């Protein structure tokens, strides 16, 4: 028994499947119509739902953005502590770590304002550390050079 099957799709997305059995000549044909179209009522419902949820969607987006920024700051501070933590005294380092832990807690809680406030507190609390790191980098770059050797 041999069956020949052919498939055809037209410009409207209509799929036609034809099958014919070679010995008996029996044929069958099936048309498959797409069902992806939406009625006007369905579109209106979707629009209403999007408007009803717009505020929640915006708040979710703002929370996600705040979390990304807070994680970026947290990762940068942790990397700086690992590389140059010796630039801080024990009390200063403990204060920075406490601020970093505050960011971690805020990230877990999921409150956008708390996340933003904790990240800002961490940034403000590490300014002195950042200055010390920059000073050290500049000193290292200038070590052993006179003013005449610098390209100004």
pLDDT in tens, 8-56: 888 777 788 888 887 777 888 888 776 666 677 877 888 888 888 888 8
The domain made up of 55-142 has a fold known as Substrate Binding Domain Of Dnak; Chain:A; Domain 2 (1.20.1270)
pLDDT in tens, 121-135: 999 999 999 999 999
Contact call for residues 41 and 49 (beta carbons, < 8 A): no
Domain ranges of the chain: 3-32, 55-142
Contact call for residues 28 and 19 (beta carbons, < 8 A): yes
Position 88 pLDDT exceeds 90: yes
pLDDT of residue 151: 66
d(CA 15, CA 33): 7
Query: Could you tell me the pTM of the whole model?
Result: 0.62
Coil, helix or strand at residue 21: strand
């Amino acid at each position: 028994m041999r069956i020949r099957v052919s498939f055809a799709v037209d410009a409207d997305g209509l799929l036609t499947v034809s099958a014919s059995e070679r010995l008996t000549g029996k044929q069958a044909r099936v048309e498959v119509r797409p069902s992806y179209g939406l009625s006007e009522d369905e579109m209106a419902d979707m629009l209403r739902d999007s408007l009803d949820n717009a505020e929640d969607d915006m708040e979710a987006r703002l929370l996600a953005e705040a979390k990304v920024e807070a994680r970026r700051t947290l990762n940068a501070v942790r990397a700086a502590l690992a590389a140059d933590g010796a630039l801080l005294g024990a009390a200063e380092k403990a204060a920075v770590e406490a601020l970093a832990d505050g960011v971690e807690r805020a990230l877990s809680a999921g409150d956008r304002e708390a996340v933003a406030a904790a990240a800002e507190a961490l940034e403000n609390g590490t300014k002195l550390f950042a200055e010390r790191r920059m000073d050290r980098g500049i000193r290292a770059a200038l070590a052993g050079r006179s003013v005449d050797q610098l390209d100004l």
